Amino acid sequence: MSIELTTLESGLRIVTDTMRELETASVGVWIDAGSRTESRDEHGLSHLVEHMVFKGTRRRSARAIAEEIESVGGDINGATSVEHTCYQARVLAADTGLALDILGDILTESAFDPAELDREKSVIVQEIGEVRDMPDDLVFDLFNEAAYPGQPIGRPILGTPGSVSDFSRATVAGYLGRHYTKPASVVAAAGAVDHARIVEAVSANFGGMPVHESAAAPSARYQGGDAREKRKLEQTHVVIGFEAPSFHDPATWAAHVFANAAGGGVSSRLFQEVREKRGLAYSIYSFNWGYSDTGLFGFHASSAHRDVPELVNVALDCLAECAETLNDAEMRRASAAMKLSLLTALESPSSRADQIARQVMVFGRVLTRAEIIEKIDRLTLKEIRAAGRAALRTAPTVAVVGQTAKAPDPGRVRERLSGA
């Protein structure tokens, strides 16, 4: 890897990965602020800010922003997550300067025009409605809220129609000024890039960002719980989960491999037992998500209403058995799949820029390919099984959308796992 990292006196970090065989580049800005940074009366504000910075600056209209980047064949977009917000552009190598000019402009000179703000709030309210119409998305919103009740980390990223509609221009601008600061930001570039030129362009275009430290997000407290919404659907959607290690915890690697082995592919135990042998669901998979101070492990499936009790029992039995009897072949398959996913991402400039930015933000440095592979290869069966057992001992979280009556509550989940 040809990684270079520069930290300016202001605290702004610039990291690049030069991929000399490419002729394109991905450049972006990652902000250490997301939905869990919001106070109760700011619910959905991170996502609204992400939308609004594209709606015009003192130098460019919203249309001009789109036309300038697309006139060179590029594209630009933003994304809001629980812990971060990012703005990323893909361009030809010769146009990285333009991309950074536009990114600097939207993040330091946004106009926040009141008319644009009203229109965009209406767009986001429609986006919220779209999620409500998609049970496989809605069930995860319910799951997160039940896992972390009353906490920003558990609230839906988009906000609610009421919270979004209440935001004013001053609220939007104030949030950006508090959280979009140089010490809280990482500029990353990957592909056909030159580090010195990227540093020069960033220094020229991001001078307007504040230099004060931004407030840290409140600590998360996983609790577990139950959330369900009755709907007239063809199938019932179920997510059952538990607390997992944070990505600062060394056990996070074992937890990822356990999730992959348990339900990460068509050869996994969940897929084979639930779909192939019993036909209880078309799709079932497990997941493991890491955050800075907590994590979530679980599975999602949708099934005919009558089959939900059997599906849940079979899935829980699979997870419990996997935590005790995972074998060498399963561990090797899961580890290989995880390495392939990680290494495939490294071959894309956009994915590579995203990865190095997040690693700098989280660990203060970029993990090498060899280091990542070594962390996975060093894992033992004992460690992976222990990660599974540790998760399954935590308080269960149950979320259901559909015909909810037959889905077990957290108490029944705990009884099933304990063999009662």
Burial class (CB in 10 A: 0-12, 13-18, 19+), 173: middle
Which two structure tokens, joined as six digits, stand for 129?
A: 């409605």
Q: 42, 50, 116, 330: which one is catalytic? A: 50
Give one DSSP letter per residue of 255-315, joined into a string: HHHHHHHHHSSTTSHHIIIIIIIT---S-EEEEEEE-SS-EEEEEEEEE-GGGHHHHHHHH
Taking CA atoms, 96 is separated from 26, 82, 87, 92, 190, in Å, by 8, 28, 14, 7, 10
Cβ neighbors of 42 (< 8 A, separation 6 or more) are 163, 171, 175
Which two structure tokens, joined as six digits, stand for 190?
A: 């990957």
Return the closest-CA partner of residue 27 out of 189, 265, 226. Answer: 189
Return the closest-CA partner of residue 404 out of 266, 210, 276, 230. Answer: 230
DSSP-based three-state secondary structure for 213:
coil
Task: Find the Cα–Cα–Cα–Cα dihedral 100, 102, 107, 111, rounded to 10°.
Answer: 170
50 given a catalytic annotation = yes
Cβ neighbors of 63 (< 8 A, separation 6 or more) are none
Which residue type, as a one-letter code, is found at position 406?
K
Active site residues: 50
